[in-house]
Amino acid sequence: MALTGIEIFKLLPKTNCKECGEPTCLAFAMKLAASKAELSACPHVSEEAKAKLTEAAAPPIIPVTIGVGGRALKVGGETVMFRHEKRFENPPGLALLISDGMADAEIESRLKKFNDLQYERIGLILRPDLIAVRDDSGDATRFAAVVSKVKQSTDGGIILMSSNPDTMAAGLKVCADRKPLLYAASEENSDRMADLAKGSSCPLAVKASSVEKLAELTTKLTSAGVKEMVIDSGSRSLRQAFEDQVIIRGAALTKKFRPLGFPTIVFPAEMTNDPMKEAVIASIFVAKYGGIIVLSDFQGESLFPLLVERLNIYTDPQRPLATKEGIYEIGKPDENSPVLITSNFSLTYFIVSGEIETSRVPSYLLVKDTEGLSVVTAWAAGKFVADAIAPFVKKCGIGDKVKHHKLVIPGYAAAESGGLEEELPGWEIQVGPRDGSNIPAYLKTWKP
């Protein structure tokens, strides 16, 4: 909340009735200022004060949700220009373009790609988020039929792209329950597009030919009662589009300029015909400051790096990326498979699990919670030592899964082997390679 505790206190009833759970209104105001309480906890706050406090509490870039259920995508809600200041909040949505002018077979193939291209990393599923259906046929019936096909084939979010309000209405009729993004309101059609967005409670994309005109249009639409908007400055050259992203983010955050306080949508799909260049352009907008990034097609070799980049940029820089503690099965291990242990620094996990996969020796990988520290750092900090590892090995249940009771520890933690044999009676501690790249050769000669 942008207001101080004292400023908030001035807007509260000052009766100290305690119904909010706090002993005084001042105590409640301080908690509100620190975002540790919700305004709704006070039943006596006036409507006028509520409006002022809600306005002050709104993030400078409003969050917008597209879609419903588990695949709903939230974009916007950002509060900083640079990731090191705090963290970026909501990763940009990656969208695949489908034209209603495409042949049905091509549409089917794109839908299959959208559903198939997903990757599991550190317990997370990395996948694209949205399908943008573009009206190129000029035929509302065809547009609605393609939207219907998309809706039936995937639970991903949907962007309806048409400048014709009648065609938009036809597409919306088919998928309003999926809360699609309506792209786009412009100077020519904004009144009717606003009615469609308000009538269906769907977010509305707004497109103009410059940042200035965009601000005029969002101001008009806000007055008309449209709340959830996504903005497109209309630029289709990398240089101008990138500049617009920086201007929009800066105006919203540092100038508190509400007409530009919305997530953006960008179209690498319309900036080049070269697929590799398109992926590079998309990667620039992942870093700064695309809210939704629309691609002309998906290929594994370009989508995967974008998903990983997005994951990395949108993690909290103040907290190391960590993998969940537990037993990870790689391949289909059985009671005679090797058991290795490592720390829960994600990069370590990626490397070790990748090398085990490369070896093609089904194995159990125990991941010990070291608060996201690598093996050497965790060992030096006393978090990957015999006293910490042994209770985890006993508790995790790996002893019931294998007959041999041999535990392979990282070469860098070799000093812990004696301590572990004392702490884990019945277990043989084996010192594995220091370097992950030596794991495949090591596992190929390992015997239970």
Residues near ligand SF4 (CB under 6 A)? 12-13, 15-20, 22, 25, 28, 42, 44
CA–CA distances in Å: residue 116 to residues 96, 331, 438: 13, 20, 32
Torsion region of 201: left, alpha or beta (phi above 0 gives left; psi -120 to 50 gives alpha): left
Closest CA to 155 of 118, 196, 105: 118
A 10 A CB-CB count for 227 gives 14
Q: Which is nearer to ligand SF4, 49 or 122 (CB)?
A: 49
| Alpha carbons 223 and 62: distance in angstroms, whole number | 16
Shortest distance (Å) from residue 22 CB to ligand SF4: 5
Structure letter (DSSP) for residue 408: E
Task: Report, in Å, the least distance between residue 4 CB and ligand SF4.
Answer: 16
CB nearer to ligand SF4: pick between 6 and 381? 6
Nearer to ligand SF4 (CB atom), residue 13 or residue 138 = 13
Q: Which is nearer to ligand SF4, 41 or 72 (CB)?
A: 41
CA angle 130, 57, 203 (to 5 degrees): 25
Cβ partners under 8 Å of residue 297, min gap 6: 96, 97, 110, 113, 275
Nearest by Cα to 47 from 13, 14, 19, 16: 13
Instruction: Output the smallest distance, CB 55 to ligand SF4, in A.
Output: 19
Q: How far is 141 from 152, CA to CA, in rounded Å? A: 17
Three-state secondary-structure class, residue 226? coil
Structure tokens at 251: 């105006």
Among residues 76, 2, 84, 83, the alpha carbon closest in space to that of 35 is found at 2
Nearest CA to 386 out of 368, 406, 363 is that of 368
Instruction: State which residue, 1 or 140, has the beta carbon closest to ligand SF4.
Output: 1
Minimum distance from CB of 236 to ligand SF4 (Å)? 51
Q: What's the min distance (Å) between Cβ of 54 and ligand SF4?
A: 15
Query: At its nearest, how many Å lie between ligand SF4 and the CB of residue 39?
Result: 9
| CB atoms near residue 239 (< 10 Å) | 8
Least distance CB 33 / ligand SF4 (angstroms): 13
Least Cα distance to 242 among 303, 295, 293, 208 occurs for 293
Q: Which is nearer to ligand SF4, 37 or 231 (CB)?
A: 37
SS3 of residue 189 by DSSP: coil
- What is the nearest approach in angstroms of ligand SF4 to the Cβ of residue 27? 8
Closer Cβ to ligand SF4, 10 or 18, answer by number: 18
44 versus 444: smaller Cβ distance to ligand SF4: 44
Q: How far is the CB of 59 from ligand SF4 (least distance, A)?
A: 23
241 and 214 Cβ atoms separated by less than 8 Å = no
Is the Cβ of residue 43 or residue 426 nearer to ligand SF4 in the bound state?
A: 43
Minimum Å gap between C-beta 58 and ligand SF4 is: 20
Q: Name which of 32 and 429 has its Cβ closer to ligand SF4.
A: 32
Closer to ligand SF4 by Cβ: residue 9 or 427: 9
Alpha carbons 158 and 183: distance in angstroms, whole number: 10
| Coil vs helix vs strand at 181 | strand
Length of the chain: 448
Q: Which residues pair with 158 in a beta bridge?
A: 131
Q: For strand 93-99 and strand 130-134, is the pairing parallel, antiparallel, or unpaired?
A: parallel
- The least distance separating ligand SF4 from the CB of residue 51, rounded to whole angstroms, comes to 16
